[in-house]
Amino acid sequence: MSLPGKRFSLLLFSLLICSQLFSQANSKPDLDLGFAKRSYTTTSVEGKESIKIDGLIDDAAWDAVEWTSDYVEFQPDNNTHPTQQTKMKIVYDDSNLYVAFRCYESNPENIVQRMGRRDDFPGDWVELNIDSYNDDRTAFSFTISASGVKGDEFVSNNSNFDSSWNPIWYLKTNIDEEGWTAEVKIPLSQLRFSNEKDQVWGIQSTRRYFNKEERSTWQPVPPNPAGWVSEFGELRGLKDLKPQKQLEIQPYTVGRYNSYESEKGNPFRDGRDGDLTAGLDAKIGVTNDLTVDLTINPDFGQVDADPGAVALDGFEIFFEERRPFFVENKSVFDYSFTDSQDNLFFSRRIGRNPQGNAYGPNVAYVDQPQNTTILGAAKFSGKTRNGWTLGILESVTGREYADVIMNNEKEEEVLVEPLTNYFVGRVQKDFNERNSYIGGIFTGVHRNLENSFPSLHTQAYSGGLDFRHNWNDRKYYIEGNAVLSHVKGSEEAIEATQNSIVHLFQRADADHVDVDGDRTSLTGTGGKFEFGKSSVGNWRYQLGAKWISPELELNDIGFLRQADEVRQYAQVRRLFNKPTNWYRRASISLDQFSAYDFEGNYNRIQYELQAFVNYKNNWWSEFGGAHKPRIFINSFLRGGPRWRYNEENYVYLFSGTDQRKAFSVKAGHVNSMAKQDNFDFRLYRTTFTYQPFNSLNMSLDVQYTENPNKTQYVTQKNFDGQDRYILGEIDQKMLSTTFRLNYSINPNLTLQYYGQPFIFKADYSSLNYVNDPVAADLNNRVTWYSDDQIDFDGNVYRIDEDRNGSVDYTVLNPDFSFVQFRSNLVARWEYIPGSEIFLVWSQGINGFGNGDDDFNTIIDHQLLRQKPQNTFLIKATYRFMM
């Protein structure tokens, strides 16, 4: 048996031993549970006295139906009686759905009424999920906390909860001697359903009993189900409902004032500026199924800033989308075709930073815009009653100009981003009694380059097909997808794409790709195929493969980190769902993957063991480790030959106290080590959360990393007609501290603060150069410069490699440090449902310096001595419902 095979067998044996130990601790065996589908019959109260939403459930209209109860515990002890029982009633009229809850509590003092922002789900709560198409895949979720805080989410693909959905609905809660009650009114215009005379909806209700961190559900659900929506019960008695076309218009106005440190002589940096803008958001129901969302001149000023990050590998850093227009209903347009962040649609490309710049010779001052203006955007999306999910997104970003003052004081405008049109179309169709679907996507980007930007593509297209099939009551599944991309542009643009870090066609040792300077287009493919077991019993597994051809290019409107890879992956997982005398639930899994490039080079193999335990006292731990016996990287030398890293092993341990407590802590450590001290990675992270009273929550998250590496890429030089790849030993450290404060005066008036100082330093030493990039021994892989070959004056390394007394090449000192501080203080008042006023104060600092300095010096010189840029913003919106 080969060495990798022996290691895999050892890890599999470890998994089985751990599984046996957990199993022996079980006081009761886990069961494959099947539950009968429950049904509740509602009725119309049209014509009766209207229900007043006050939380008291004393209106006569509630007498039209009976209570339904008998909730069953879902977590931690599945299929048992909950500690406290819950009851629910549902009625409706021509315009609204009404829901009442009674949540029993034998000691009302145990009811936790914590406050929070919308979608925070604080304290005790009860939830209603509505599958109004009864399609087993999509649902609308409404969560009611005992304190009156709202939570609302759209559920897609059976289990993906999207909290960006913010419908208009109404709720009130009340505490009495039996526990707490809630009344809810949901306008039918906020739901989507068919026009059939007699309808059946899927429903589920979940209660969180905070005192024991317990979940109970109206429709019993087995532990770790294959999906969520497919497990719902039924709501019957819905007769003559009239689908209502939604029409909402939300104009806004924003006043903004910026202050910053003035720059002497620069008219663009005089210390202050401001503007007043207006825009419009609209939601128009084309049918009850399909909705158009429009935005004109959208404003995203209240959005949190991106966290600090530095990447030394040359790749783009992925940041999550935060802008409300693109976040809402984003699941419709999602097409993640691998298990990573690669996606055919990455909405942050729309409104991106300008790709050109106006800096150059004879330029004295530049006013460079930070983002591209989105002139307008529209989304057409929804799901029809016969199983079609549709999504179309269209957006136009305008020409963006930088104002420039030349050395001769002449003022000019320089185009830094062309007029661009973005299009995304997405479709999925359910079939086979909603156990299967097939879908497709198409994206397109068109730029009006106007004889500028020869390095940009004129057109970029991508498309894909995907499917998933579940069988045997969703116990097993098979899924897959395939994608195709095609980009067009000038010879210069296509050559730049071939040479980019994503593709690296110029790789010195690659026979399957080469740079063709005459090409004006590029076409590539990718995809994934996977099957596995996703529900029933204690075991889960999956096996799959994916590929990304060298020519695949998605980054005009999607996100692709690196092309040219074929990967095989597998996972087996053991679940422990039945609580014992020492844990509530636990799991352990074994993962394995191997990777190749399209030339057939065997680049990577990795084995990983992961475990999670939620203890009886509700503390938790997750721990594991990985073994990487083979690590080859095609991109490390930025177009040079494949590079080999030494064998790596890492372990991690994270643990936390009961997160329900007023004060809780999470802490963890990752320790990764490569043989011959090739590199190390050490991460330390601690998070403190404190809730001194119901309306105030604070958290502090501190991260510190050390990543020393003897062979960090620095630059490429030419020596004696040959490429010389220069590396260096790096002492790389990062410190990040994130502080959050949430103060809720009431559910509709909140104050939030976010602040993050981020410090990164890279100190280089012991320069060396590549000798044999794939040698197993580090000392054969690189050669260190001796003292008589290198001279350093603090700014420049002068290298006399052949020791003949003359400098062969120079290398600038790569040491650097980077400091960033970002903060947001936001006061939000929802003065009527759907209409808000924001008051925002943002601060920002960026500082660059010398990596030789210690953290104290960096903080003092690059952070504390700088004047921050302040932005003050007031935004008002009003939501018209017609």
Mean pLDDT, to the nearest integer, of 362-384? 89
pLDDT at 144: 97
Q: Say whether pLDDT at 22 is over 60.
A: no
Least confident of 64-73, 371-380, 590-599: 371-380
332 within 8 A of 156, measured Cβ to Cβ: yes
Residue 294 vs residues 32, 127, 374: alpha-carbon distances, Å: 47, 30, 12
Q: Say whether pLDDT at 644 is over 50.
A: yes
Residue 3 vs residues 592, 626, 630: alpha-carbon distances, Å: 15, 16, 11
Mean pLDDT, to the nearest integer, of 456-485? 96
Q: What is the distance between the alpha carbons of residues 842 and 823, in angstroms, rounded to a whole number?
A: 6
Write the pLDDT tens digit of every residue in 185-202.
999 988 988 888 899 999
Q: State both tokens at 495.
A: 């050559």
Q: What is the distance between the alpha carbons of residues 674 and 678, in angstroms, rounded to a whole number?
A: 6
Mean pLDDT, to the nearest integer, of 300-326? 79
Q: Say whether pLDDT at 80 is over 50.
A: yes
CA angle 525, 526, 532 (to 5 degrees): 155
Mean pLDDT, to the nearest integer, of 122-126? 96
Q: Say whether pLDDT at 595 is over 50.
A: yes
pLDDT at 33: 52
Q: State both tokens at 590.
A: 């074994």
Nearest to 272 by CA among 284, 258, 255, 287: 258
Chain center to CA of 276: 32
Q: What is the distance between the alpha carbons of residues 593 and 597, in angstroms, rounded to a whole number?
A: 14
* Mean of pLDDT over the chain: 91
Looking up tokens 């006569």 gives: 60
Higher pLDDT pick, 859 / 227: 227
pLDDT at 1: 41
Mean pLDDT, to the nearest integer, of 257-273? 89
Nearest to 687 by CA among 655, 662, 735: 655
Please state whether the peptide bond connecting residue 29 to the residue before it is cis, i.e. omega within 30 degrees of 0.
no
Mean pLDDT, to the nearest integer, of 575-580? 95
Q: State both tokens at 815.
A: 């040491």
pLDDT band for position 27 (cuts 50, 70, 90):
very low
pLDDT at 862: 79
Mean pLDDT, to the nearest integer, of 686-713? 96
Q: What is the distance between the alpha carbons of residues 653 and 625, in angstroms, rounded to a whole number?
A: 9
- Could you tell me the domains of the chain? 1-30+569-635 (no CATH), 34-239 (2.60.40.1190), 281-299+314-563 (no CATH)
Write the pLDDT tens digit of every residue in 31-45.
345 689 999 999 999
473 within 8 A of 225, measured Cβ to Cβ: no
The 3-state DSSP class for residue 124 equals coil
Q: State both tokens at 697.
A: 């929550």
Maximum separation of any 2 CA atoms in the chain, in Å: 101
- What number of other Cβ atoms are within 10 A of residue 558's Cβ? 26
Determine if the pTM surpasses 0.85.
yes
Q: Say whether pLDDT at 8 is over 70.
A: no
- Sequence-distant (≥ 6) Cβ neighbours of residue 512 within 8 angstroms: 550, 597, 598, 599
pLDDT band for position 835 (cuts 50, 70, 90):
very high
Amino acid at 424: V
The 3-state DSSP class for residue 701 equals strand
pLDDT at 301: 65
